Amino acid sequence: MKVVVINSGSSSVKYEVFESSDLSVLSSGSLERIGESESQHTHRIYGPSGTVNETVRRGRVDNHEEGFRFILSTPVDSPVIKSSEELLGIGHRVVHGGEAFREPVLIDEKVIETIRELIPLAPLHNPANLLGIEAARRVFPGVPQVAVFDTAFHQAMPPHAFIYALPYSFYALHRVRRYGFHGTSHLWVAKKAAAHLEKPLTSLNLITLHLGNGASAAAVREGRSVDTSMGMTPLEGFVMGTRSGDLDPAVPFYLRRATGMPEGDLEALLNKGSGLKGICGANDMREILQMVSRGEPLAQLALELYCYRIKKYIGAYFAVLGRVDAVVFTGGIGENAALIRKQCCQGLEALGITVDDTKNEKAYEEVLEIQRDGAPVKVLAARTNEEREIAEQTLAALLPCSGPRRVREGAP
């Protein structure tokens, strides 16, 4: 039997097909530019000896339902899925679960309605996720489908970590609070760190740093997220590729008055035109590192600001946790950019956080340990695998005895 993980965007669908018995990846792919004059489907099949066979097809696909049918019609020598019968379940990544979902949930009409009600909190993501869910339910009727939420892992945060100091009624009436995102990634690397350290996750305190295009930190106490840097939306926290991260909340009001910029443009500026891109014109870290090596001062500034903010959060979360067993870097930047790992930890020796240059530069498969010999805090780079985490959570939610959780009543 197979488990399929689907990550649905407004004009794209990404998927990964797992063998349910051992969660090995059988195939993966993406359909891009849904709704445009020509869509592109890329499909990869993973052979037992590590071979990857990629096929690309183009065609007109008007919506997500047509998209799934297009994907399924991949030629028979490289089938995605032969029939619905071989599907044990489908796991959907859903960005915002609000306070309603703290665990993966079997999708039914009520769940769909609740995800819809959460659209004001995630207007860009939840509608796109719903398109994928609704289309998949039509194309694969009878196959159990599970929603796995980016916010769920952080629902364990205590109120003093998630409440903003606004009048309390804004939380009570409008659910304005910190939710946090990247939960599946933080959880996955926390589990990987525990396995690597050969300790139960419930015995460890970790600072996990997901550094991709979006970026966030989590303070993980005994396996539970007790604080995280992203907020009600993914805009808060670190400097990101195109997001400003933490900012004096008065800045947008000032800019509005000073420039007359409309509210929508300001929102786009903070989400899409700020961060690394806003400072040096590039948002891809590889490009920025090349600019730095050419001596471009704004790229240097962007890099310093980026690492400085991360360092501040490491210090803050050290204070939150009291004792830290490991700092874990992940995401495209955290996994691959040794220079950034080093720079984020520079000056933290007094906290026991150090980086050994030789270890830091080593190639690795899943987890790399990079602290200096004898240092009290482990520093790790760990490869994230959100799809695999979603597949695991989907399977767990499908197990009848685990009793999929549905909507949680009320809030603390």
Amino acid at 240: M
Nearer to ligand ADP, 193 or 285 (CB): 285
Give the residue among 144, 103, 100 at the shortest CA–CA distance from 119. Answer: 100
Figure out which of the listed residues 331, 345, 360, 382 binds ligand ADP, where binding follows CB under 6 A.
Answer: 331
- Report the residue number, 7 or 394, with the smaller CB distance to ligand ADP: 7
CB of 5 to ligand ADP, least distance (A): 14
Closest residue to ligand ADP in the complex (CB): 332
Q: Please, which residues have CB within 8 angstroms of residue 326's CB and are 6 or more apart in sequence?
A: 193, 197, 204, 206, 207, 377, 378, 379, 380
Sole binder of ligand ADP in the list 333, 353, 368, 370 (CB under 6 A): 333
According to the binding rule CB under 6 A, does residue 337 interact with ligand ADP? yes
Say which residues have a Cβ less than 8 Å from residue 187's Cβ, sequence separation at least 6: 153, 389
Strand partners, 382: 367
- How far is Cα 358 from Cα 365, in angstroms, rounded to an integer? 17
Under the criterion CB under 6 A, does residue 285 sit at the interface with ligand ADP? Answer: yes
Q: Are strands 39-46 and 52-59 parallel, antiparallel or unpaired?
A: antiparallel
Question: Contacts with ligand ADP in 214-243 (CB under 6 A)?
Answer: 214, 241
Min dist. Cβ of residue 254 to ligand ADP (A): 29
Of 125-133, 171-179, 285-293, 371-379, the window that binds ligand ADP (rule: CB under 6 A) is: 285-293
Q: Exposure of 265 by Cβ count < 10 A (0-12 exposed, 13-18 middle, 19+ buried)?
A: middle
Q: Which part of the chain contacts ligand ADP (CB under 6 A), choosing from 170-178, 208-216, 219-227, 363-371?
A: 208-216
Among 110, 286, 323, 362, binds ligand ADP (CB under 6 A): 286
55, β-bridge pairs: 43
Strands (E), 121-274: 145-149, 205-211, 215-221, 224-228
Binding segment (CB under 6 A) for ligand ADP, from list 59-67, 206-214, 247-255, 256-264: 206-214
**Please, which residue, 204 or 299, has the CB nearer to ligand ADP?**
299
Nearer to ligand ADP, 124 or 289 (CB): 289
Nearer to ligand ADP, 40 or 213 (CB): 213
Residue 265 annotated as catalytic: no
Identify which of residues 226 and 270 has a Cβ nearer to ligand ADP in the complex: 270
268 vs 289, which CB is nearer to ligand ADP? Answer: 289
Q: Alpha-carbon distance 324 to 286, whole Å?
A: 30
CB of 279 to ligand ADP, least distance (A): 14
Please give the single-letter amino acid code of residue 366: E
Active-site choice (22, 62, 150, 373): 150
Residue 25 CB, nearest approach to ligand ADP (Å) = 17
> Binding segment for ligand ADP among 44-52, 111-119, 280-288, 303-311 (CB under 6 A)?
280-288
Q: From CA 157, how far away is CA 230, in angstroms rounded? A: 12
Q: How many residues touch ligand ADP (CB under 6 A)? A: 13
Contact 19, 26 (CB under 8 A): yes
For ligand ADP, which stretch binds (CB under 6 A), given 71-79, 331-339, 362-370, 372-380? Answer: 331-339
* β-bridge pairing 13-19 and 2-8: antiparallel
Which of 205, 204, 209 lies closest to 345 in space, CA to CA? 209
Q: Buried b vs exposed e over 331-346: b needs ≥16 C-beta within 10 Å?
A: bbbbbebbebbbbbbe
Contact positions vs ligand ADP (CB under 6 A):
212-214, 241, 284-286, 289, 331-333, 336-337
Q: Which residues are known catalytic residues?
A: 150
